[in-house]
Amino acid sequence: MMTIRHFLLPYLKSIKFWLILLLISLVFTLEKAKKNPFLPATHIKNKNSTFQVVIWTETEKPYYKAGENIVLFIKATANCYLLLFNINSEGNGLLIFPNQHHQENYLTQNTVYRIPPLGYQYCLKATGSGKELIKAIATKREIKWSFGPWKRKEFLNTLKTLERKLKAQTFGDWTEAEVWVQIKR
């Protein structure tokens, strides 16, 4: 009498079986990423960091109206360099700090920074509608970066490049944080 184990054993030993299983898994992962444009950015994590960065908005309200100014605050527990990305609900990304108006991105430990800083001639305006992710990446060694903006496919490549640059850092020498912003028309 043939059992299920005896029936499956030849397939489990077959490389074709594992390739098909891998392909199915990849298709499901890509479909999940299509439905969740934030997925690649939220996967950038470092649980072994030697320091932390915290990011929050100026207000506790649950959403911003399109056209309102968004003010962010950042604090790091070590001296570091900050990259601050905005990812919209369509998966498009933009480096919002540093930027053309404020190119210095060095943070001193335990100091609260306002973005945009008071007195600067730019603001972060809520545009469109939907959920947006603000992702902070802080590193002890500076990473040079272009300002963007990037459409979704370009931004996925940008995130892959960022991950490679983070891997080049000493593992404990970078950290991340994120804050979600809801925008309504």
Give CA–CA dist 97/94, Å, rounded. Answer: 9
Q: Do 49 and 101 fall into the same domain?
A: yes
Rounded average pLDDT over 44-62: 85
Domain count within the chain: 2
CB 135 within 8 A of CB 79: no
- Residues 56, 107, single domain; the answer is yes
180 Cβ contact list (under 8 Å, min separation 6): 131, 132, 133, 134
Pair (53, 82) in one structural domain: yes
pLDDT at 35 over 70: no
Q: Determine if the pTM surpasses 0.85.
A: no
Question: Do 126 and 143 lie in a common domain?
Answer: yes
Tell me: pLDDT of 149 over 70.
no
Q: pLDDT digits over 128-142, tens only? A: 888 888 989 899 988
Res 104 pLDDT > 90: no
- Residue 99 and residue 128 in one domain: yes
Answer yes or no: is pLDDT of 26 > 70.
Answer: no
Residue 179, burial from CB neighbour count under 10 angstroms (0-12, 13-18, 19+): middle
Distance CA 118, CA 48 (A): 34
CB-facing half-sphere around the CA of 181: CA atoms within 13 A: 29
Q: What is the pLDDT of residue 56?
A: 93
Which range among 50-59, 120-129, 174-183 shows the weakest confidence by mean pLDDT? 120-129
Q: Per-residue DSSP letters for 17-34?
A: HHHHHHHHHHHHHHHHHH
Q: What is the mean pLDDT of residues 53-76?
A: 89
User: In this structure, are 70 and 141 located in the same domain?
Assistant: yes
Report whether 114 contacts 73 (CB < 8 A). yes
* 23 lies in the same domain as 110: no
Say whether both 30 and 62 belong to one domain.
no
* Whole-number pLDDT of residue 157: 72
Write out the two tokens for 77: 């527990």
